Amino acid sequence: MKELTAEELLFFDRHQDLLPLYIAWTEGLSKRFPGFSVKVCKTQISFFSRRLFACVSFLRVKKRADTPASYLTLTLGLPAPLSSDRVAVQTEPYPGRWTAHIPLYSLDDLDEELWDWTAQAHAFSERK
């Protein structure tokens, strides 16, 4: 299990309810993609392999009334858009690079589909 840094814990200071989801996310990353690095900033926690492949934040990407008040937003850098209702927002900031924002509400959201997308993002970050 990856030991959380003081910066990671401080990032979740006002969102303690989402800390177990983050811990499960980082444990899954450690198991699938050992050797990644983490950078904690004011607004997000970024995950790097060769380059940035994912980040988590409290970015509000769902505005519907039935959306839970508390969720973690996973952002993946991908070579192509994702075709899924789970993706709240997608953009193509420049040709051949897509950014997908995916809200994570519970541990159940850390399913094989999500890990497949994360693997795509990780592989994309490894390209030269």
Report all structural domains of the chain as residue ranges with CATH numbers, in order of start.
6-126 (3.90.1150)
- The number of residues making up the chain comes to 128
Query: How does pLDDT run across 86-101, given as a tens digit for each residue?
Result: 999 999 998 999 999 9
pLDDT of 25 reads: 95
Other CB atoms closer than 10 Å to residue 94's CB: what's the count?
A: 7
- pLDDT under 50 in the chain at which residues? none
